[in-house]
């Protein structure tokens, strides 16, 4: 037989323990729930802050992009302005070049170079400007051509240039002190001869380069002989 009397207090104590255990479990569950709620509130707060930060960053990005766009528009405006200026400059240069080309085409130049020593003949004696007979016959070869060019209007200026070598002028009478003067005197002598042959003086001019525009820079006899010359330049002004 089982004696129940010896265990009288077990029933009520066991129930209290169960109740206490349940209460403890409830408290733990409530505490966990509250912790979860607090964590959720924290997460929501963090997410809200992150959202605000993203919103601020987005607004800043929009402002930056807008400023960048404005800078681009300003730069584009300057570039367009410079392009327009360049186009105008290029057009202007092209127009100027075309005018220059047309002018050069109008001013076709013919140059006749007559060395002082030609075909074994010396046209001017040393230090002198007198045109000898043999030089007259050489000039006569060009008189008709020059006249025809002036009459046709192809040219309207005949410029006679006197050139010398670098040797100092030496003559007994000291008629010319420098090669500059000698070159001018020889050019003028040719102009006067052309006038005597019927070429209108209004189309003629005489100039000198003396020794300062040589054909050859060397100082050999052949180079000096090449530098002593008369140049007849026909051009249209």
Q: Are strands 117-118 and 229-235 parallel, antiparallel or unpaired?
A: unpaired
Cβ partners under 8 Å of residue 118, min gap 6: 138
Residue appearing with tokens 């992150």: 50
Across 101-107, average pLDDT:
54
What is the domain range of residue 58? 12-106
Q: What pLDDT, on the 0 to 100 scale, is given for residue 62?
A: 74
pLDDT tens by residue, 63-95: 777 777 777 777 777 766 655 555 555 555 556
Q: What pLDDT, on the 0 to 100 scale, is given for residue 234?
A: 92
Radius of gyration of the chain (CA): 56
- pTM for the whole structure: 0.56
- Inside any domain, residue 20: yes
Cβ atoms < 10 Å from Cβ of 98: 10
Shared domain check, 173 and 191: yes
Across 143-155, average pLDDT:
92
Shared domain check, 154 and 90: no
**CA 188 to CA 194: how far, in whole Å?**
10
Shared domain check, 193 and 92: no
**CA 177 to CA 184: how far, in whole Å?**
12
CATH number for the domain spanning 154: value is 3.30.1330.60
**Count: domains in the chain:** 2
pLDDT tens by residue, 165-179: 999 987 666 789 999
Shared domain check, 194 and 211: yes
What is the pLDDT confidence band of residue 1, given thresholds at 50, 70 and 90?
very low
Shared domain check, 148 and 39: no
Boundary residue ending a domain (106, 131, 151):
106
Shared domain check, 129 and 59: no
């Amino acid at each position: 037989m089982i004696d129940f009397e010896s265990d009288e207090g077990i029933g009520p104590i066991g129930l209290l323990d169960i109740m206490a255990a349940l209460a403890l479990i409830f408290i733990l569950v409530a505490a966990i729930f509250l912790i979860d709620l607090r964590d959720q509130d924290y997460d929501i707060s963090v997410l809200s802050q992150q959202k605000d930060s993203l919103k601020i960053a987005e607004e800043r990005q929009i402002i930056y992009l807008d400023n960048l766009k404005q800078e681009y528009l300003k730069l584009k405006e300057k570039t367009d302005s410079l392009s327009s200026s360049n186009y105008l400059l290029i057009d202007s240069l092209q127009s100027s070049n075309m005018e220059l080309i047309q002018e050069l085409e109008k001013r076709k130049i013919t140059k006749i170079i007559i060395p002082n020593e030609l075909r074994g003949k010396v046209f001017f004696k040393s230090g002198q400007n007198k045109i000898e007979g043999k030089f007259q016959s050489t000039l006569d070869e060009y008189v008709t051509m020059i006249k025809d060019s002036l009459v046709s209007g192809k040219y309207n200026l005949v410029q006679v240039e006197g050139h010398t070598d670098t040797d100092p002028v030496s003559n007994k009478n000291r008629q010319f002190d420098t090669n500059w003067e000698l070159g001018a005197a020889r050019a003028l002598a040719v102009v006067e001869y052309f006038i005597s042959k019927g070429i209108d003086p209004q189309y003629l001019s005489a100039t000198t380069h003396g020794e300062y525009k040589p054909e050859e820079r060397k100082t050999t006899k052949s180079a000096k002989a090449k530098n002593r010359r008369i140049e007849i330049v026909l051009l249209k002004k």
